[in-house]
Structure 1
């Protein structure tokens, strides 16, 4: 005979099943990060040889404070929860070589108090320190800078998010004007010895301390300076130099941490990977590049960047011209099999557009054409950028996240900015999404990309298409258990 269940028992059952802890535990069980990641032909695979689609978001940490941004506005756990709820499975966390130079050459890691006062001044630095500690009470003024990075890494691991580290530039600051001295090997601030050292240092530090550390990008947006006079130490601006320095750095990373993937960007602000993809370079008969010769060939991943090319992708475009443009930069290397070519995984580690709903950029041809291309070619991606503000950027404290958008290869060469802006996914205080419809479209694009790799959104994600970003979402499996349990008791 069935026992009648009481209202109090039903209430307890509902609370147990629908509690955040239950939901997160279920999600964690189904989406464990199976590290290390490796490469199998054009695919990234996990430790069980299952294909992995890296779908992520950029989180800046390369500005003057050399801290992950946003901690003065929100706790680390809240920021990472926003990442997970959209459905991202990875974060591209950017750092500056200067951070490691401080540790190795300048007396050791610096404290939160010191790094904030250096970047913001004593008064504003103290104010921001108090805000950070209020949101993240495990910190204090004597917490070391790398300990903050470790705390971010720990939370990413706790919420099952891959950590992809990116060496964004050498001298901490905003990237990437063509005249900033960070662009090419041997440039004013681009000391190649320090750069290689910083990559090896962080690879080893991550191996020892970061449970979800999956990969590292050797250098963001490599570019030749365009304005004279050039630094006396500037190395020859060609693919031969690129190969020598990138392979040198990758070998150092692989020796320090043989488990992580190594991302190679090309030239022209990470747009052009044609020469290494093809294995040869026009005008450089002595250049050759073969993945088969690399010690780390099972860890090699190409990366590219794309922003709105309005001179190529016009409103209502059928995408044909843009596809040809991307193919010309070797964005099709994941699907072609030309003799002598270096087929490998490709991740679009930066792309983005204005996130404001009222601007409607998410409805335009650029997003549609690029996402269609990435889905068709099975290209993973990491959108720019998570946060809506910076501790300081370009000398302005509490800077909002507009990012000047360039329009064409000609514009890229001179880095001329337009008045259109790209904005962070989150608002200025890192508390809500900048655009409601825009973030829904991004999640829809994310679902399509995961599906191209025969995957689905991580179960930690909320269905933003049906529920407000402030609401709750319970996976179908939990709802099924709930209904079955109630029926069994009545």
Structure 2
């Protein structure tokens, strides 16, 4: 319900206060070490857990500033558990004098956005007289005041909604995408934010796409763009996107990108359910989750493993947060399981509950937005629950602690906690850790001699001192590897299941959508996600 979560309020929205508070923000620069993003000074891992905030549309003013004070929005981002914002921008704002010299008020008036201008007058009056560039800098300072890192993402050249394959913004040489002007924009922005510690990374371009896209031009211009950014601002991370709407970096397997960025290179990828057949998610949920995960790994995820791993930033994923799209709901559980297991950096699409102007519609609501249309409440508080584990760092490259496991239930976003006699789901920030050597071995509660054990079909899972029986011998089954199964006394496989009656209870029941041989059924009308449990490796203390 909307009343369940109310965003933090603020007491001031003046520009001078924001600029002052911005000086109190962190002073990282970030670097890379193998597949990890780290603090350049200490070498400690820094995990980016971001939310997207668009500023690239027609007015070139970050959305929502007409709804709430900037300091309020920044505080709400922090209160929801994010440490980073992927802030989007349009090239023309920095390369075309007409746009560069526009004030916020003039830009809103240009599009006839009277309601948005009135809203800024109420909520952020100090921004109206600033140029668009100055307003963006004020937003960065406001985020820095909350110790929120900023990734500046060059989303488009011509300011408009993104993305279509033929929108003129897709690839080098398109109607609005002049390579020389793009390089000028990257250079200008890198120079502008060179000494701003809040800006930790620059993403060169969002979602290359369209009929012109090709690998030769990609290599040529990506090398030029990354060099331009690094020359002007050597402390920021340089983020590189692939082809086909940021879903394809597979060509790097045969020809790695030749860059000398002194440990500043990060790749990014997007993962949505848009192009997936709905019937596959609905009736072959286990198998299609496995297929989708393997596809992501083949196209982009391979970069975090192998002999020369590099960081991969999943800079966009998201769902309709009303919960009405069942394809989205099942995709999200699959994606979160993979994000949690790999502990990658990420950015959710998206923060905004509505737009000033999008595709000709004033005040259009964004159903993928965390916030409601008035930017007053979280649209679905359950979404924040689902993100709680992936907002944590579970793998530390500097840790000396042994690897244990967190038992994660992606559909609820909760984790299994051991009690006196059994286990139950609870907040992942205060969860138990488990040891598990391999499939076909016990799952033992850390610090005890007790193991996860089947009591019977439909009964709560228990903790038992008998760790050698079949009832305590567990394995990951189904193609998705998201069911945890063991045998009962009759030799039948039962799977862990989140109880629909007691939302914290974990039962053992007949495995959904699996045959007696634990093979996926060719078609299943049930939703197996109530039985999806994933052992997430962690070496955090």
**Do both share a fold (TM > 0.5)?**
yes
Q: Is the 8 A contact 2:91 2:182 kept in 1?
A: yes
CA distance in 1, matches of 2:90, 2:327: 31
- 2:125 corresponds to: 137
- 1:255 corresponds to: 231
Q: How does 1:458-469 map to 2 (within 5 A)?
A: none
Q: Does 1:294 align with 2:247?
A: no
What's the CA shift string for 1:133-189, capped at 9, x where partnerless? 21013234x221122111111111110111000000111100011110111111111
CA distance in 1, matches of 2:68, 2:395: 34
Instruction: Please identify which structure carries the higher helix content.
Output: 1
Q: How does 1:229-378 map to 2 (within 5 A)?
A: 237-276=213-252, 278=253, 280=254, 288-290=255-257, 293-308=258-273, 310-311=276-277, 313-314=281-282, 316-317=285-286, 319-337=289-307, 342-357=308-323, 364-378=329-343
Q: How does 1:54-203 map to 2 (within 5 A)?
A: 54-103=48-97, 106=98, 108-118=100-110, 120-121=111-112, 124-125=113-114, 127-140=115-128, 142-203=129-190
What's the CA shift string for 1:16-46, capped at 9, x where partnerless? xxxx99xxxxxx9xx9735110111111111
Q: Does 1:440 align with 2:398?
A: no
Deviation at residue 360 of structure 1 after TM alignment: 6.4
Deviation at residue 75 of structure 1 after TM alignment: 0.6
- 1:220 corresponds to: 206
Distance 1:174 1:65, change over 3 A: same
Deviation at residue 397 of structure 1 after TM alignment: 1.1
Q: What is the alpha-carbon root mean square deviation over aligned residues?
A: 2.6
Deviation at residue 80 of structure 1 after TM alignment: 1.1
Q: Is the 8 A contact 1:59 1:93 kept in 2?
A: yes
Deviation at residue 358 of structure 1 after TM alignment: 5.5
What's the CA shift string for 1:448-472, capped at 9, x where partnerless? xx224489xxxxxxxx99xxxxxxx
- 1:409 corresponds to: none
TM-score, normalised on structure 1? 0.72
Q: Does 1:207 align with 2:194?
A: yes
Deviation at residue 442 of structure 1 after TM alignment: 2.4
CA distance in 2, matches of 1:38, 1:240: 28
- 1:228 corresponds to: none
CA distance in 1, matches of 2:362, 2:381: 27
- 2:422 corresponds to: none
Instruction: Please identify which structure carries the higher strand content.
Output: 2
Deviation at residue 77 of structure 1 after TM alignment: 1.0
Q: Is the 8 A contact 2:339 2:390 kept in 1?
A: no
CA distance in 1, matches of 2:142, 2:282: 41
What's the CA shift string for 1:346-391, capped at 9, x where partnerless? 01000001112465677x3311211221222231110001001111
Task: Point out which structure has higher relative CO (alpha carbons under 8 A, 6+ apart).
Answer: 1
Return 5+ residue gaps in structure 1 as ranges.
1-19, 22-27, 226-233, 281-287, 403-422, 456-463, 466-474, 477-490
Distance 1:361 1:152, change over 3 A: farther
CA distance in 1, matches of 2:186, 2:281: 36
CA distance in 1, matches of 2:396, 2:317: 20
Q: Is the 8 A contact 1:86 1:443 kept in 2?
A: no
- 2:534 corresponds to: none
CA distance in 2, matches of 1:378, 1:165: 22
SS at match of 2:297: helix
CA distance in 1, matches of 2:168, 2:25: 41
- 1:470 corresponds to: none
SS at match of 2:151: strand
Deviation at residue 436 of structure 1 after TM alignment: 2.1
SS at match of 2:291: helix
Aligned residue-pair number: 376
CA distance in 1, matches of 2:234, 2:208: 24
Deviation at residue 444 of structure 1 after TM alignment: 4.1
SS at match of 1:348: strand
Larger Rg: 2
Distance 1:32 1:96, change over 3 A: closer
CA distance in 2, matches of 1:314, 1:244: 42
Distance 1:157 1:129, change over 3 A: same
SS at match of 1:67: coil
Structure 1 window deviating more from structure 2 (62-71 vs 349-358): it is 349-358
Deviation at residue 90 of structure 1 after TM alignment: 0.5
